[in-house]
Amino acid sequence: MRLTRNTPLHAAAPMRWLVLATSLAGLMSAPTAWAGFTLSRDYPVPPPLLELPPHFYNLTAPFGLDLSPGITGQGVASEVRYLDRLQSRLPTLTGSVDIVEDVADSGWITTRQSNRTVFAIASLESQAFNGTFPVAARTSFMTSHVYAISASRASFTNSGPVTYGGVDYAANSLYKRRFSQATATSYWYDAWSASAQPGLVPVELAVDGHLRPDASLCGGQTCGFAFPPGTGTVTQTPPSATFLAEVAVFDLSREVTCQPFLLGPCGPGSVWPAPVVYMALAYTPEPGDNPTLSIDVSHITEFQPLANHRYLSVGSVVAVSDNGSLLDFANTARVRVLAQPGTLYSDGLDGADLGVYFAQAVPEPTSWALMLTGCGALLAWRRRQAK
């Protein structure tokens, strides 16, 4: 079975990078950092000259929510994608130069079903499929599970002049470059109604997982190619891991004016709901990071609901693994609403009391299923790399 699927890059991909870039830019303003992770409670407001859409649009993009009739109900979206890319310029024995640019792309694999896991895999090499996947995601009520591991890749070039097939080639004119990427995303939303006499509401964001940039240089055969004569520079395609978990609550009964911009539907006179809660936990690679970074934390922020107002809660998790890094957050990134009974009522729970629900909630037993799947994928992938 050939695990190669050459499909066009989907139009939705730039939006995911826009979401991640806008959020990470906002985290730079007032962060709290430890072990490579940064926490921010400042709702991202892009600089006006960038003409970017409001962050509300980024967080709700998978659902296409329409404010005009009023947002109701709840929803989830889980998406995964795997890319394997090759670029090469190599000599042939006939004296010509063979230029190749190829990509195996799983495309975005998506589900809107709660508690359903989606997987993706793609490869430029023909290999037997062993039943495990390098990227997976699952979303349930205010809970996200993501797992992503990409293959280690190496690149080479001729660092000095070389003669091959009777033809002289200048330094750095021959090369072969490899790149792999696994992306897992999880989104959810739920609309709430406040009671006539709401109390103060603590909102908790809890994240449990680990990531590991793989810094080992794989050999030529292990990385999928042999080095030709004259090769003087062999480097690992730099591995990297990017992670972002967000939660936001918007007051649907209060509006803020959106300034005109070019990249979305917001124009003069447009309005967006006012943010009342925002928390984001992010990781971006930094020099000197430990080989493995683990985190098991929870953070709480509070807001005061207004009587009889409608609210929208939104959560998202994005994990991106490049060239051999691992992100294992299959255990959970979850949100809990620690409200007193009689304060908020959830559309996703058919109007049930959020405070009562979370007071009685127990951890999901199915959380382990995705984690075990991920561990199997990691072991199988490493075995293939070692052969």
Q: What is the pLDDT of residues 271-312, one digit of tens each?
A: 788 999 999 999 877 766 676 788 889 999 999 999 999 999
269 against 136, higher pLDDT: 136
pLDDT in the model for residue 55: 85
Instruction: Report the distance separating Cα 38 and Cα 28, nearest Å.
Output: 9
pLDDT in the model for residue 315: 96
Q: What is the pLDDT of residues 340-357, one digit of tens each?
A: 999 999 999 999 999 999
pLDDT (mean) for 357-363: 77
Q: pLDDT-derived band of residue 33, with 50, 70 and 90 as boundaries?
A: very low
User: What is the percentage of the chain residues whose pLDDT exceeds 90?
Assistant: 42
Q: What is the pLDDT of residues 252-265, one digit of tens each?
A: 999 876 655 444 44
pLDDT in the model for residue 25: 41
Instruction: Report the distance separating Cα 46 and Cα 40, nearest Å.
Output: 15
pLDDT in the model for residue 245: 96
Q: Give the chain as a 3 state SS string.
A: CECCCCCCCCCCHHHHHHHHHHHHHHHCCCCEEECCEEEECCCCCCCHHHCCCCHHHHHHCCCCCCCCCCCCCEEEEEEEEEEEEEEEEEECCCCCEEEEEEEEECCCEEECCCCCCEEECCCCCECCCCCCCCEEEEEECCEEEEEEECCCCEEEECCCCEEECCEEECCCCCEEEEEEEEEEEEEEEEEEEECCCCCCEEEEEEEEEEEECCCCCCCCCCCCCCCCCCCCEEEECCCEEEEEEEEEEEEEEEEEECCCCCCCCCCCCCEEEEEEEEEEEEECCCCCCCCCEEEEEEEEEEECCCCCCEEEEEEEEEEEEECCCEEEEEEEEEEEECCCCCCEEECCCCCEEHHHHHHHCCCCCCHHHHHHHHHHHHHHHHHHHHC
Amino acid at 55: H
Q: pLDDT-derived band of residue 313, with 50, 70 and 90 as boundaries?
A: very high
Q: pLDDT-derived band of residue 128, with 50, 70 and 90 as boundaries?
A: low
Instruction: Report the distance separating Cα 349 and Cα 352, nearest Å.
Output: 5
Domain ranges of the chain: 13-386
Choose the most confident range, by mean pLDDT, from 46-55, 79-88, 173-182.
79-88
pLDDT (mean) for 198-217: 82
Q: pLDDT-derived band of residue 24, with 50, 70 and 90 as boundaries?
A: very low
Q: pLDDT-derived band of residue 20, with 50, 70 and 90 as boundaries?
A: very low
Across the chain, mean pLDDT equals 78
pLDDT in the model for residue 64: 87
pLDDT (mean) for 138-167: 87
Instruction: Report the distance separating Cα 191 and Cα 188, nearest Å.
Output: 11
pLDDT in the model for residue 134: 93
The whole-model pTM stands at: 0.80
pLDDT (mean) for 208-217: 72
Tell me: pLDDT of 154 over 90: no
How many other C-beta atoms are found inside a 10 Å radius of the C-beta of residue 149?
29
Tell me: pLDDT of 4 over 80: no
Q: How far apart are the first and last CA of the chain?
A: 18
221 against 37, higher pLDDT: 37
